[in-house]
Amino acid sequence: GAGVSQSPSNKVTEKGKDVELRCDPISGHTALYWYRQSLGQGLEFLIYFQGNSAPDKSGLPSDRFSAERTGGSVSTLTIQRTQQEDSAVYLCASSFERGVKETQYFGPGTRLLVL
């Protein structure tokens, strides 16, 4: 069956530009998670959605980062005015429900390079 998909797989942008990263979760999964993987920080949890709601946005690195989810499915992570320190791999994961015993299934990631 189809897994979590992310697009684009690679994105190169110039400092100061806005970027949108997309995540398509596994069909029927109500919970969706965004992570960032960088050399300096390792794997960091950014934000999760239960349905279309993101109760806690405190994990987002700065106010340039925002995320939304529509229709309980696709999610976009938007980075405004990108900086070089935003260069990283952005991973999306989904699970059937939100809960400590729910396995998170990861997508292949979007590799973002800010020049």
Partner 1 sequence: AQSVTQPDIHITVSEGASLELRCNYSYGATPYLFWYVQSPGQGLQLLLKYFSGDTLVQGIKGFEAEFKRSQSSFNLRKPSVHWSDAAEYFCAVQGGADGLTFGKGTHLIIQP
Q: Is residue 25 a contact residue for partner 1 (CB under 8 A)?
A: no
Following DSSP, what letter does each residue of 13-70 receive, concatenated?
Answer: E-TT--EEEEEEPPTT--EEEEEEEETTTEEEEEEEEETTB----TTSSSTTEEEEE-
One of 23, 33, 88, 94 touching partner 1 (CB under 8 A): 33
One of 67, 79, 91, 114 touching partner 1 (CB under 8 A): 91
Considering only residues 36 through 75, tell me which ones interact with partner 1, judged by CB under 8 A: 42-43, 45-48, 56, 59
Dihedrals phi, psi of 78, to nearest 5 degrees: -110, 135
What residues pair up with 91 in beta bridges, in sequence order? Answer: 35
Q: Which CB atom, from 76 or from 104, has the smaller least distance to partner 1?
A: 104
Residues that bind partner 1 (CB under 8 A): 4, 33, 35, 42-43, 45-48, 56, 59, 91, 93, 98-101, 103-109
